[in-house]
Structure 1
Amino acid sequence: MYLVRLLTKCLITYPRWYRNLSAAVLEGLNGKYFSKTKKKKTNSSLTEAQQSKIEDCSLTLHVIKPPTQDRVTFDLFDRVNRGGTRLNNQEMRNAIYQGAATKLLNELVSFESFKEATENAIKPERMKDRYLVLRLIGFYLWRKKQLLSVKERGTPPVEYRSDLEDFLGKTMTFLNDPASNTFCEKFPASFDEGVTRLPLLLLDQ
C-alpha cells in the first residue's frame, strides 16, 4: 500500500485512462495521460520516448515477511525514504497497517469531543493525534486482557515488555483482524462519551 501511494505521488499513473494530478518529482507530466486516447488531445499524453523510459524502469522491491519486528521494518522504511521527508513511526505504521485500524483512528480523531478535550493542542500534522489515540486503545485493551497476538498460534494475550513500538504495531495488527470487529464497532461510542466527560472530571479535581 505504501509503495502504491508513493509511486502514485511521484510518477505518472500507468493506465492510459488515469491522469496524475499532483506529481511531486516529474512536475512537467502533471495532467498528462500515459498514452493517447480517442477522447483526449494528443498533447495531453506522454511522448513515445517518455513512455519507453517509464516502461523500461526497473524497481527493486523488498518483501517484509512476518513475524519481522516493527523496528526492523521502520529501519528499512527510513533507509528507502532518505531522499524525502523523514517519516515518524506513526506515519510508517499508518502505511503498513492499512485497514480497520487506520479507519478507526481516523474516525476517533475527527470527533469534536476529542478536539475539545485536548483543546486542539494535539495536531493532525505528522499524525500526532492518531499516535495518542492508538496508545490509549493499546493500553485500554491490554489492561482488559483483550489485546490478542493474532499472528501467534493460539492467539495469546499480548505482553507489554517496554517495547512501545512493537506493542503499538501488535495493537494495529489486532485491530485489523476480524477478532476485533466487535470492539471496533462499539468503542467509538465509548470513546466519544469518555472524552466528552473528561474536561468535567478534570474541573472537579
Structure 2
Amino acid sequence: MTTSQSPAAPDVKEEHFLDAPTGIEAETEDEEVPEIERPWKPEQIRVNTKQFSLRNALDMIDDESLELAPDFQRGRVWKHVQKSRLIESVLLQIPLPAFYFAEDADGFMRVVDGLQRLSTIHDFVRGQEGFALKGLEYLQETVEGKRFDDLPAPWKRRINNAQIMAHVIDPTTPPDVMYDIFKRINTGGTPLNAQEIRHCMSKDRSRSILKRMTLTAAFDTATNGLGGHTRMNDREMALRFAAFWLHGPGGYLDFGSMDSFLQRTTTMLDHPNDVDDATVEQLEAAFRRAMENARVVFGDQAFRKWPQGPDTGKYPINRALFEAWAITLDDYDPSDLARRSGAIVDAARHLMTVDYRYLDSITSSTGDARRVMYRFETTAKAAEAGR
C-alpha cells in the first residue's frame, strides 16, 4: 500500500499522573465493548469480611503477615497535608472506607486497596521518623504540629483502638478471578493501574525478576531513562516481554486478553516449578539483548511511533511497539542489525505511515488477538529488511 500524500502526524496522547507526563503513550479501546467470553462462576468468588483494630493491623504489618507491597512507589505519593488529615479523621473517629486484602495459602495477606491509607497510618504511628501533623481542619489547637509520640495517651489509644473493615479475598479464589475483583473495586482516590494491581497481588519472586529487568543499563538506555517508573509501566513492559518470550506470540491466542495473559505470566514467574531459575536467567539475558539491539537499530526512537515525513521530535514509548520489536530483535546478531539498521528503520517507519492496519494494532484495542498477531507478523517482516 502506498500513498502520494504527505503523511499526517499521528494523534498520540501521553499518559499523565499528578499532572505530569509519564513518558508512556496512552492506549485507547474501541467504544463497543465485546461480550464477556468467559464469565466467572459465582462459586469461584470467595470474599470474607473481617474487622481489625488499627493496632492489630499495624502489628501484622510489622510481623510481615500483612504486606504493604514493598517497592511500590505509588503508595507514597500523598502530600503532607493529605496524610495529616487522614490521621485527623481517625482521631475524629470518622470510619475509614473498607480495605481489600488478598490472602495466600499460607495465611499471609497483601493490601491491594487501601495501601496509601495503611502506609500513612503506619508511617505516623510506627515509622522510624514519622511525621508531624500539618494543615488540620478541626484539631489545630489540639494536635497540630505533633508527632505520634507527642500525643497525649487518650489520643494514642483512639488511633490504636480504631476499627477498620477489610474484605479478604480467599486464597482458593482463582488468580484471574481475584484480579478481576480488584479491577472492579479499584475506584477510590487515584485508582491503581493494571500493573500496580498485579504488583500488589504478586509475590516477591516475580517482583524481583521484573525489577532486575528494568533496572539494567540496557533497558534504561533503550527507553531513555524509563527504569523506576512512578506507575510501574516499566515493569509492565518487562512483564509483556516475559509473557511473549515464555509463550510465544501464538500462545497469546490461548488467553484472548492482555490482562489474562499477563496475570498468568506473573503467577508463573512467582513459582519456580513453572519458570525455574535457569529459565529466569535466560529470560533476563534475552531482555538485555533485545534492549541493546533496539538501541542499535532505532537509537533514541526505539519503541516510539516514528512516521515518515518532517521531524516531529520524540513521541512517548508505545507498549505494543515495545513488545513486538523487543521480542523480534532478541533473535538477531547485533552486528547484522547494525549493518541493516537503515533499511530496518525505513521499513518500520513506512509501516507507521501507510499501513493503517498496523497503526490500529499499536494504537487501539491492542489486546485484540488479531491485532496482536498482525503486529508481530508485520514487525518480523520489517526486521528482515536489507537482507
With normalisation by structure 1, the TM-score equals 0.70
User: Distance in 1 between the 2:191 and 2:134 partners?
Assistant: 17
Structure 1 residue 10 corresponds to structure 2 residue 120? yes
Matched, 1:196 2:292: yes
In the superposition, the TM-score normalised over structure 2's length comes to 0.40
| Secondary structure in 2 matching 1:178 | coil
Distance in 2 (CA, whole Å) between partners of 1:23 and 1:64 is 34
Q: Which structure ranks higher in relative contact order (CA pairs < 8 Å, sequence separation ≥ 6)?
A: 2
1:187 alignment counterpart: 283
Partner in structure 1 of residue 270 of structure 2: 176
**One-letter amino acid matched to 2:259:** E
Q: Is residue 21 from structure 1 mapped to residue 130 from structure 2 by the alignment?
A: yes
Q: Which is richer in helix?
A: 1
Contact 1:23/1:30, CA 8 A, preserved across alignment: yes
1:162 has 2:256 as partner:
yes
Identical counterparts, % of pairs? 20
Structure 2, unaligned runs of 5 or more: 1-66, 69-110, 137-142, 299-340, 345-387
User: In structure 1, which of residues 89, 95, 100 is the aligned counterpart of residue 205 of structure 2?
Assistant: 100
Match of 1:154 in 2: none
What SS does the corresponding residue of 1:125 show, helix, strand or coil?
A: coil
Change (3 A) 1:137 1:185: same
Q: Pick the structure with greater CA Rg.
A: 2
CA drift at 1:173: 0.9
Aligned counterpart, 1:67: 174
Determine if contact 1:20/1:32 at 8 Å carries over to the other structure.
no
The gaps in structure 1 that reach 5 residues or longer are 34-43, 148-157
Cα contact 2:195–2:236 (8 A) shared by 1: yes
Distance in 2 between residues matched to 1:63 and 1:25, nearest whole Å: 33
Name the structure with the higher strand share. Answer: 2
Task: Provide, for residues 36-94 of structure 1, a one-character-per-residue CA deviation record: whole Å limited to 9, x for no partner.
Answer: xxxxxxxx443211222122211211111321522222222x14xx1x22211111111
Amino acid at match of 1:75: R
Output the CA distance in 2 between the equivalents of 1:138 and 1:26: 46
Tell me the matched-pair count: 179
One-letter amino acid of the structure 2 residue matched with residue 21 of structure 1: G
